[in-house]
Amino acid sequence: MRKPIQPQPKLRSVVTYLRVSTDSQGSDGLGIEAQRSLIARYLERAGLSIEREFIEVQSGGDDQRPKLAEALQLSKALKIPLVVAKQDRLSRNASFALKLFSTHKIIVAESPEDSRLARGVKAVVDDEERVRIATRTRQALEELKKRADSLPVGSVIVSKRNRIHHKIGEGKWITEGIAGERKHFGGNPHLSTASAKGAEGKRLSADRFALSVLPVLRELFEKGKLSTSPELADALNARGVRPSTYKEGVRESRWHPSGVRNVISRLERLGQPVAVVAVQ
């Protein structure tokens, strides 16, 4: 039986950060609910509570993460730790992860007693996995290009890993991941910029945004038993998930039932339904 963790003196609350990859919730083996459960067990043993929870849907290899930045900023301002379920939820970039550990108070729920050496070893292992993931993704995209060359211009493919592939010309594709990265297969790399200036660019942006909130919507429906657009809108606002209309400092930038319905309809058109819900 595990020994109870001794409560830290004068420490009662923490900031928590949960992250899933850009592909799909739990595709890397640790979805939002699993992370939350792991953190909850640690907090119970340590006698701590959650000040605020941050959720982000973005690659662990990407260091530019708005939610992580917010979580770190709040943690520092309140002088309380940031808690993550596993070290790779913080980052899969070794240098970035170790820098965060050196500049912020961060606790890993899975192994809170890790030494600096243990953290360093895990950071290197996570970084190697990041490279392998990138290699597999690149190979998969190249294979997709070969298979899709016969499709007509204007074709759109949504892969099993929620990546959107747009054919913009013969031998020319734009691949958009949920986080918004783009890869070009031949032709002029500025074509994506030109495309983004018109209605096509807005549509791609809306598709990308809808897919970015898909994991959270599915969790709310499956775990939270929420089935109507007003319920989902309230839950998204409570979790701090930003709508596509979000603007810094604007209080009205909140989720509304109509916005939830629009996102769900778009996901259905992309072949990625949240569930059979009554979007009233």
Q: Where are the domains of the chain?
A: 13-123, 149-269
With tokens 């810094």, the residue in question is 248
Ordered per-residue pLDDT tens for the chain, 280 residues: 555 555 555 668 999 999 987 544 444 457 888 999 999 999 999 999 999 999 998 887 788 889 999 999 999 999 999 999 999 899 888 888 899 999 999 999 999 998 888 888 888 888 888 778 777 777 776 776 676 666 776 666 666 555 666 666 666 666 665 433 444 444 443 334 444 445 666 777 788 888 888 888 888 888 777 778 888 988 898 888 888 876 655 556 789 999 999 998 888 887 777 764 444 4
- What's the CA gap between 129 and 197, in Å, rounded? 36
| Cα(37)–Cα(125) distance, integer angstroms | 24
Separation in Å, CA 24 to CA 159, 184, 215, 217, 263: 11, 22, 6, 12, 16
Q: CA nearest 28: which of 103, 119, 72, 92?
A: 92
Q: Distance between CA atoms of 191 and 225, rounded to whole angstroms? A: 43
The CATH class for the domain spanning 13-123 reads alpha beta
